[in-house]
Amino acid sequence: MSVVYLVLPLALIIVGGAVLAFVWSAKNGQYDDLETPAVRMLHD
């Protein structure tokens, strides 16, 4: 059970990584337009 002391912080670090990735992608405008890319593909 004391493995929790190790695993939980580790999990939180991973979550932090995911959050950072999300922040990065949002700031890069990945979510600005969710529809055009899907449609654009059809025109090519």
Partner 1 sequence: MTTATLSATEATDVLCAHCALPVPDGLLDDAERQFCCSGCHTAFGILHAHGLDSYYGFADRREAPVQASGRSYDEFDHPAFANLYVAALPNGLSRTELYLEGVHCASCVWLVERVPLLVPGVLRAELDVRRSLAVIEWDVATVPLSRIAQSLDTLGYRPHPFRGVARADMRKREDRAMLVRIGIAGAIAINVMLAALALYAGELNTMDASFTRFFRWVSFAITVPAFIWPGRVFFTGAWASLRTRSLHMDLPIAIALAAGFVRGAMNTITDSGPIYFDGLALLIFALLVGRFLQQRGQRMAVDAAEELHAIAPSTARIIDNEIARNVPSEALLPGMLLDVRAGESFAADGIVMRGHSSVNAALLTGESHPTSVSVGQRVYAGTLNVESPLRVQVEQAGETSRIAKLLRQVEESAKRRAPIVQTANRMAGVFTAVVLGAAATTFVIKSQLSAAHALDDALALLIVTCPCALALATPLAITVAVGRAARRGMLIKGGDALELLATPGILVLDKTGTVTEGRTALAAWHGPDWVKPLVLGLEEGSSHPLADGFRRAWSGVVPATVSTSRHVAGGGLEGIVDGHAVRIGSPRFVRESVVTIDESLEHVTHTLDRTLTPVHIAIDGGVVAMAGRGDRVRDDAFHALQQLRGRGWRTVMLSGDTHDVVASVGRALAFEAPDALGAVSPEGKLAFVEQLKATSGRTVVMVGDGVNDAAAIAAAHVGIGVHGGAEACLATADIYLTRPGLGALVELTEGARRTLHVIRRNIALSIGYNLIGAGLAVFGVLTPLIAAILMPTSSITVVLGSWYSTTFARSTVTESVS
Between 32 and 44, CB nearer to partner 1: 32
- Tell me: does residue 4 bind partner 1 (CB under 8 A): yes
Between 27 and 43, CB nearer to partner 1: 27
Distances (CA, A) of 3 to 9, 16, 17, 28, 35: 10, 20, 21, 38, 44
Out of 7, 10, 13, 15, point to the residue binding partner 1 (CB under 8 A): 15
Amino acid at 11: A
Q: Give the C-alpha separation, 18 to 3, whole Å.
A: 23
Out of 7, 10, 13, 26, point to the residue binding partner 1 (CB under 8 A): 26
